[in-house]
Amino acid sequence: MALDLVLLGPPGSGKGTQAAMLSQTYGIPAISTGDVLRAQVEAGTPLGQRVKAYLDRGELVPDSLVVDLIQHRLLDPDTQEGFILDGFPRTLPQAQALDTMLVALDRPLDAVLYLQVDPQAVRERLGQRHRGDDRQAIIDHRLDVYLEQTAPLISYYQAQGKLKLIDGAQPPEVVGASIADAIRSLAGSSNGSSRSPGRS
């Protein structure tokens, strides 16, 4: 059985950290749209130049672009055993596109792990990072964009019965342990198969 997960939460909620830990534990790839987009910018491709303009302003890149990217990525053979999406979906149209893709692949999401951290705490965390788009005005804008465009996904996935609430304000190991509990609780809830850490 594959383990197909989405990590949801505001910028600075620790999605990247948890995605890396999950990837290690379960031997499945962590797919970060932010990383993929930044790699395009680094590579200096024409697409990268277009993407850079959005990143620099703290805007989301167009849905069609990230949907395309994820559609291709999910067909890579390393996703056979599962995947962890970090930073996708980020809008309702992206979430709907993902549902459509996964129906076609006959592999519905197992869970959406929502890392809940209050806005003031993430503001402080992001202010301590040193990425190009981590200047205060841009951070504030990214948080606004999150509240407007991404936060509605919380009720979208709640309605699907997929949402698992995780307290993201705790230290990374504690957050990791809550996620492990949530994944264990998936075992048996759908088809009786048990989840155990993968080969890696």
The contact set with ligand ADP (CB under 6 A) reads 11-12, 33-34, 37, 54-55, 58-61, 66, 87-88, 90, 94, 142
* Catalytic-residue membership of 162: no
The dihedral through the CA atoms of 78, 82, 86, 89 has a sign that is: positive
Tell the smallest beta-carbon distance from residue 87 to ligand ADP (Å).
Answer: 3
Strands 111-116 and 30-32: unpaired
Tell the smallest beta-carbon distance from residue 180 to ligand ADP (Å).
Answer: 22
- With beta carbons less than 8 A apart as the criterion, state whether 117 and 14 touch: yes
Active-site position among 38, 90, 162, 164: 90
Active-site position among 15, 52, 162, 164: 15
* Catalytic-residue membership of 38: no
Active-site position among 38, 142, 162, 164: 142
Complex with ligand ADP: residue 35 or 81, whichever CB lies closer: 35
Residue ranges of E strands in the chain: 3-8, 30-32, 82-86, 111-116, 163-167
The dihedral through the CA atoms of 79, 160, 173, 126 has a sign that is: positive
What are the residue numbers of the active site?
15, 90, 129, 131, 142
